[in-house]
Structure 1
């Protein structure tokens, strides 16, 4: 199958390799690029907080770029949304990592179960744009937190001729979608060509991601049984 990979280039290499090992043809179409704000991360870390929370490996990459400035915080409790983000935190040197099941809402529930021990707000190292589920969950559970944006995902501009050639020469069979924003961007880019891709499969990390797929393609949506890349690739 020809499979579109919409992840940023920094994350797409591993997905590309995994798809090839599964016998598929990756079609790399990164829709965003990351802009890091390491000074904002350093300032936030210097403030009073009880623990750290990250819902993306991209946030961990920002922390990793701090080098020696991160060392005093590597022993703090870090809540990671899922296994991929937790692995990135482990590779960066964090020693007390609490792994969530894979979604922001579930991570908020995990943190709420520990929040009675907090003596200061949770520090959420966030990106922009982002799903509100994690913060909504913390608010619903009454968990005090501070959110600091440490990176932004900027859309990449593509020429329509390039998009058409990428998607239709020959037609792609599936697209991997890991976030609501990437689902929105892909459907915007692909809109002029979707009638010619009537059978394309939208392989989504979660129901939340699938909400941005046009209604006429809802029959083509598949949702991962567990919200990580293994779950998405199992849909192929």
Structure 2
């Protein structure tokens, strides 16, 4: 299958290698690039907090870039949304990692069960844009927290000829969608060509991502049985 990979370049190449190993043809179309805010990360870490929370491996890339300045915080409890983010936390040197089930809502439930022992707010190291479900879950459970935006995902501009060539020369069979924002951007970019891609499969990380897909393509949606890359690739 000819599979469009929409992840940022930093992680898209690893996904492309996995697709090749599975016998597919990856087509790289990164829709966003990460902008890191190291000064914000360093400043918020210095404020009182009971534990850290991350819902994206990109946040760990920001923290890793702090180098030796991160060392004093590596013993703190870190709540990671899922296995991929937890592995990134391990690679960054964190030693006390609590793994979530792969969704922000699920991670909020785990944190809520631990919150009575907190002696300071939880520090959520977030990006922009992001899904509100993790923060909504914390608010609903009455968990005190501070959200700090330490990175942002900036959309990449492509000309129409490149988009058309990527999607239609030859026609793509599937697209991998890992976030609501990437699903929104892909559908915006692909809108002029979607009628020529009537059989394109939208392989989504979760129901939350799938909600963005236009109604006329709902029959083409597949949703991972577990919200991680293994789950998405199993849909191929």
> Does TM, scored on the shorter chain, surpass 0.5?
yes
Match of 1:195 in 2: 195
Q: CA deviation at 1:133?
A: 0.4
| 1:139-150 mapped onto 2 (5 Å cutoff) | 139-150=139-150
Matched, 1:235 2:229: no
SS in 2 for 1:88: helix
Confirm or deny that 1:215 pairs with 2:221. no
SS in 1 for 2:137: helix
In 2, Cα distance between equivalents of 1:93 and 1:166? 38
Q: Distance in 2 between matches of 1:169 and 1:12?
A: 20
Name the structure 1 match of 2:120.
120
CA distance in 1, matches of 2:142, 2:5: 37
Quote the Cα distance in structure 1 between the aligned partners of 2:31 and 2:59. 18
Q: Secondary structure at the match of 2:149?
A: strand
Distance 1:101 1:14 in 2: 22
Is the partner of 2:4 in helix, strand or coil?
strand
Per-residue deviation at 1:13? 1.3
Match of 1:65 in 2: 65
Shift in Å at residue 78 of structure 1? 0.1
The aligned counterpart of 2:179 is 179
CA RMSD of aligned residues (A): 0.3
Aligned to 1:132: 132
TM-score (norm 1): 1.00
Deviation at 1:119, TM superposition (A): 0.4
SS of alignment partner, residue 89 of structure 1:
helix
Where structure 1 has 5 or more consecutive residues not aligned to the other structure, the ranges are none
Query: Residue by residue, what CA displacement relative to the aligned partner does 1:150-179 show, whole Å, maximum 9, x if unpaired?
Result: 000000000001100000000000000000
Measure the CA separation in 1 of the matches of 2:133 and 2:178: 15
Q: Deviations over 1:108-129 (max 9, x none)?
A: 0010010010000000000000
Misfit runs of 4+, over 3 Å: none
Task: Give 3-state SS (helix, strand or coil) of 1:183's partner.
Answer: helix
TM-score (ref. length: structure 2) = 1.00
* Aligned-pair CA distance for 1:49: 0.3
Structure 2 residue runs of 5 or longer lacking an equivalent are none
Secondary structure in 1 aligned to 2:123? Answer: strand
The yes-or-no answer on 1:46 pairing with 2:46 is: yes
* Offset at residue 28 of structure 1 (A): 0.2
Q: CA deviation at 1:31?
A: 0.1
1:68 & 1:204 partners in 2: Cα distance? 37
Distance 2:229 2:110 in 1: 21
